[in-house]
Structure 1
């Protein structure tokens, strides 16, 4: 017998779980997502979220309350008469009226090994911190921020050059499989719940624009982790003088390089760098290779193509 599920999610990351639950035969009685947001160059067009669009393709009714402060919104939620709510990157801290608004409660798919990296940006923070492992967890939600008991876990190694985008996609698909397994166990009445450890709590704060600039005074490993943790979005960046004016350049792929020099110093001649397919820059300790770069408003280019169009002299100091 299938569960009656309310699904709550917003970005692409959530869509895989919605699709997996629907394909497993559960009845998705309603989808909740963040309201359409302005998009496009001028921000004049309101665009529905990826989850909103996916639900409409399946003919599932979609609800987009700004919050659940209005009793009418809370009553509408309860009126779906759902067995359970599944939440994946919805974007709101749910009030108790919603947490208790279904027969079996709310279950969240979270992209970290809780209690490490509770909060908004667990994928990016895990990579930026140099973690070698992360995972997906299904937990039963309570009033805290990602504090509820854990039901199921799938661990995943983080490769030394893996970007946030690559890890995002791997966890996205793993999350759909894991939540489907969890709902099957919940339906059968044998879903285990284990309280989170009290030690090892870390919070994954939302990425702030102020922290996206590359700090070459840090060790090369930290710079590399910073770059891959912010790739592809929002992107770590430095400034490069072009025609006498500083121009912002994003770095979307990197590796640990060889050599040493002043922090930010370019270590190879432009021709040598272009032939080698990387731009090597000194850090506080060691050096980092820039492998894919993008000027503001420009195309994403491999380092060799970037350097053919924008030569960077050995000894130049980037900031």
Structure 2
């Protein structure tokens, strides 16, 4: 088939790489987000997908939108059979979906209809899901609403962060996509319409919601810490009201007679804070302007930030 590939970050580049290595189809053009300023110098940086496309001398298009007729006419000129979309970042209007005989396929990082939207990998850890996966979906005008041609699941490990789960799904996605393309008419014919009663939404992450809330159970907070790693990173206000990022925690026995947010202990093994159920032990912390460090190193010279017996404030309880 003649295929147009649309994607932007590293996750998408892995799928393009798999298509190129497979060699069964003709990639006639690559669509990706416009170059963006990045790094300290704020120099314009090409996306991972653009860099890969240029290495393979593929035509690259970077429209600001696909809603205007000029962009749609340019897309039509490639006379592609199919468009494959992986973490592209632009909305595809109905006029674009209708351009291709086989429509547009999307590789989404969740087991649809669970976690439609922008941050499915993070939200699955955040919610304590037992498994994650990828879904190959026939695109419709709605957000991640189309019928699912193929799903592949994998367990979420107890120690998985968003970064580690992202890496696992970045391997699972390309193989699922190639499997789907080997017999597209078969998979399209048996595509499953998404059950509306099972839909959940994976809204974008915000720095505000990454603040630890001591009124939550310790297990929930431990999931939050893993979900928000590597961005935006879970954080708290110390007893001296300094913002401290939290990279690694575990759940330990607490003292139910103490109010949530109470510091139960602070030593080389970690800083233990009571929650609404059990206690959260802070193992790796990052003070402002410094690198992440073990609790023992943090407390060396900063013990006033976590005095035993004092109570930390949370987002709704200041």
Same fold, TM-score > 0.5, yes or no: yes
Aligned with 1:175: secondary structure?
helix
Aligned with 1:199: secondary structure?
helix
- 1:94 and 2:88 aligned: no
Separation in structure 2 between the aligned mates of residue 57 and residue 263 of structure 1, nearest angstrom:
54
The equivalent residue for 1:298 is 290
Higher alpha-carbon deviation: 210-219 or 303-312: 303-312
Give 1:108 shift: 0.5
The equivalent residue for 2:34 is 35
In structure 2, relative to structure 1, the CA distance for the partners of 1:51 and 1:304 (3 Å cut) is farther
Q: Is the 8 A contact 1:227 1:254 kept in 2?
A: yes
Aligned with 1:252: secondary structure?
strand
Higher alpha-carbon deviation: 301-310 or 7-16: 301-310
Q: Is the 8 A contact 2:66 2:91 kept in 1?
A: no
In structure 2, relative to structure 1, the CA distance for the partners of 1:305 and 1:76 (3 Å cut) is same
Report 1:173-192 matches (<5 A). 173-186=171-184, 189-191=185-187, 192=190
Report 1:219-258 matches (<5 A). 219-241=217-239, 246-258=241-253
Separation in structure 1 between the aligned mates of residue 86 and residue 75 of structure 2, nearest angstrom:
17
Q: Is the 8 A contact 2:67 2:92 kept in 1?
A: no
The equivalent residue for 2:311 is 317
Q: Is the 8 A contact 1:161 1:255 kept in 2?
A: no
Give 1:177 shift: 0.9
Aligned with 1:55: secondary structure?
helix
**TM-score, structure 1 normalization:** 0.90
Separation in structure 1 between the aligned mates of residue 299 and residue 15 of structure 2, nearest angstrom:
41
Q: Is the 8 A contact 1:112 1:123 kept in 2?
A: yes
The equivalent residue for 2:126 is 128
Q: Deviations over 1:210-262 (max 9, x none)?
A: 21111111111111111111111111101225xxx632111122211222232
In structure 2, relative to structure 1, the CA distance for the partners of 1:308 and 1:57 (3 Å cut) is farther
The equivalent residue for 1:200 is 198
Q: Is the 8 A contact 2:107 2:137 kept in 1?
A: yes
Q: Is the 8 A contact 1:264 1:281 kept in 2?
A: yes
Separation in structure 2 between the aligned mates of residue 231 and residue 177 of structure 1, nearest angstrom:
26
Report 1:204-223 matches (<5 A). 204-223=202-221
The equivalent residue for 1:288 is 280
In structure 2, relative to structure 1, the CA distance for the partners of 1:105 and 1:309 (3 Å cut) is farther
Separation in structure 2 between the aligned mates of residue 141 and residue 253 of structure 1, nearest angstrom:
38
Separation in structure 2 between the aligned mates of residue 147 and residue 308 of structure 1, nearest angstrom:
52
The equivalent residue for 2:156 is 158
